[in-house]
């Protein structure tokens, strides 16, 4: 019996409002050599009833007798999968028609890449578009700050779970289990994101991340500390973790925070100069981008004082500034079209 090229895996829990649209987005893919493995994780709504209406032979539906959580369910799905590649699908997102085709083509062509994600269009209660790091060296550097790969967009080689020795998803780190997975995988293989958005990522009040935001932040910080320790031999403190979170929250509260943030970025740069784990040029450009982002966004420090700190910092890079401005402008223009 011929094995499928791709196993699409999807845990389902109380997704009656979205699941039909999600399933149809997979069944209408231009790439057709796949199995679609679905486990209903003890839903109390009509999800299982909706699943039973599908007769496509590529769909295989299983049921947990009780709710065990989506990470444990994911690990069960991985064991059930028979494809060379595994593609993740969340039960409330929508894959674009050529998603599987483009990711299979990319992985076939780039044997050194073990995990392939993509950008995503965000819709629902928020509307946005992701602009993730694309290449392995950029993704590795970005990982010390945040998760650089959107979990629902990924396709990865099943060999990650045997030949390459990467363990299963760590259930204790839910809902930051993917962040830990990408880092562990990065020790064994290269990572990539495709520029084109291949998935519509739905934001709503029942998202796993939305429901467990505090736990997600706590577990992501555990992963981040491990990454700093492994890559830069840095025992990063709770205060330094808080400063790194300001990249996204834009809520530096005073001038002292801004200076402390600058010192932390410089410390990271100097530490990498000694250890040379990350590509120095890539890391320097990334740190300058974050420094620029924070300085431009912060509102409760006078413009004169802020610009003085910004331009006098050793993080400042005149050549990269124009690249950041041009890239941001092009991205904004593309998204608004």
Least confident of 4-13, 30-39, 200-209: 200-209
The alpha carbon dihedral of 10, 169, 77, 196 has a sign of positive
* String of DSSP letters for 111-180: TTEEEEEEEEEEEESS-EE-----SHHHHHHHTTTS--S-GGG-EEEGGGGTTT-PPPP-GGGTTSHHHH
Distance of CA 82 to the CA centre of its chain: 24
Q: What is the predicted pLDDT for the residue at 332? A: 42
* String of DSSP letters for 52-103: TT---TTEEEEE-SS---HHHHHHHHHHH--SSEEEE--TT-EE-TTHHHHH
Q: What is the mean pLDDT of the chain?
A: 88
Higher pLDDT pick, 293 / 273: 273
Q: What is the predicted pLDDT for the residue at 207? A: 61
Asked if residue 226 lies in contact with residue 183, where contact means CB atoms within 8 angstroms, the answer is yes
6-211 carries CATH number 3.90.550.10: yes
Cα(111)–Cα(113) distance, integer angstroms: 5
Asked if residue 88 lies in contact with residue 62, where contact means CB atoms within 8 angstroms, the answer is no
Domain ranges across the chain: 6-211, 237-336
Q: What is the predicted pLDDT for the residue at 128? A: 85
Look up the pTM and report it.
0.89
pLDDT interval class at 251 (50, 70, 90): low
Higher pLDDT pick, 323 / 56: 56
Exposure string for 137-164, b = 16+ CB within 10 A, e = fewer = bbbbbbbbbebbbbbbbbbbbbebbeee
The alpha carbon dihedral of 147, 151, 152, 155 has a sign of positive
| Residues of the chain above pLDDT 90, percent | 64
Higher pLDDT pick, 282 / 163: 282
pLDDT tens for each residue of 197-219: 999 999 877 665 555 678 888 99
pLDDT interval class at 310 (50, 70, 90): confident
What are the C-alpha distances in Å from 264 to residues 112, 237, 239, 270? 33, 11, 10, 10
pLDDT tens for each residue of 78-99: 999 999 999 999 999 999 999 9
Pairing assessment for the beta strands 85-88 and 128-129 based on DSSP bridges: unpaired
Distance of CA 321 to the CA centre of its chain: 26
Query: Would you put residue 69 in left (φ > 0), alpha (ψ -120 to 50) or beta?
Result: left
């Amino acid at each position: 019996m011929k094995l499928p090229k791709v196993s699409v895996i999807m845990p389902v829990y109380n997704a009656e409002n979205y699941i039909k649209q999600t399933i149809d987005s997979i069944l209408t893919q231009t790439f057709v050599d796949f199995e679609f493995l679905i486990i209903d994780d003890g839903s109390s709504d009509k999800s299982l009833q909706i699943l039973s209406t599908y007769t496509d032979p590529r769909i295989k539906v299983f049921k947990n007798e009780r709710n065990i959580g989506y990470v444990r369910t994911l690990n069960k799905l991985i064991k059930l999968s028979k494809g060379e590649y595994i593609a993740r699908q969340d039960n409330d997102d929508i894959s674009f028609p050529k998603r599987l085709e483009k990711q299979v083509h990319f992985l076939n062509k780039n044997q050194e890449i073990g995990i392939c994600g993509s950008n995503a269009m965000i819709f629902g209660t928020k509307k946005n578009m992701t602009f993730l790091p694309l290449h392995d060296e950029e993704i590795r550097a970005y990982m010390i700050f945040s998760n650089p790969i959107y979990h629902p967009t990924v396709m990865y080689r099943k060999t990650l779970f045997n030949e390459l020795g990467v363990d299963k998803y760590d259930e204790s780190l839910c809902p930051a289990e993917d962040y830990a997975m990408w880092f562990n995988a990065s020790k064994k293989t290269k990572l990539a994101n495709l520029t084109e958005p291949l998935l519509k990522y739905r934001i709503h009040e029942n998202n796993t991340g939305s429901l467990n935001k505090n736990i997600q932040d706590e577990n992501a910080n555990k992963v981040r500390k491990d990454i700093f320790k492994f890559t830069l031999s840095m025992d990063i403190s709770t205060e330094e973790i808080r400063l790194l979170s300001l990249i996204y929250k834009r809520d530096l509260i005073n001038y002292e925070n801004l200076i402390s943030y600058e010192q932390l970025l410089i410390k990271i740069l100097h530490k990498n100069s000694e250890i040379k784990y990350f590509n120095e040029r890539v890391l320097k450009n990334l740190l300058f981008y974050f420094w620029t982002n924070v300085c431009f966004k912060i509102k409760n420090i006078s413009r004169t004082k802020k610009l003085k700190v910004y331009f006098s910092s050793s993080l400042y890079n005149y050549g990269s500034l124009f690249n950041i401005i041009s890239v941001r402008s092009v991205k904004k223009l593309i998204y608004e079209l």
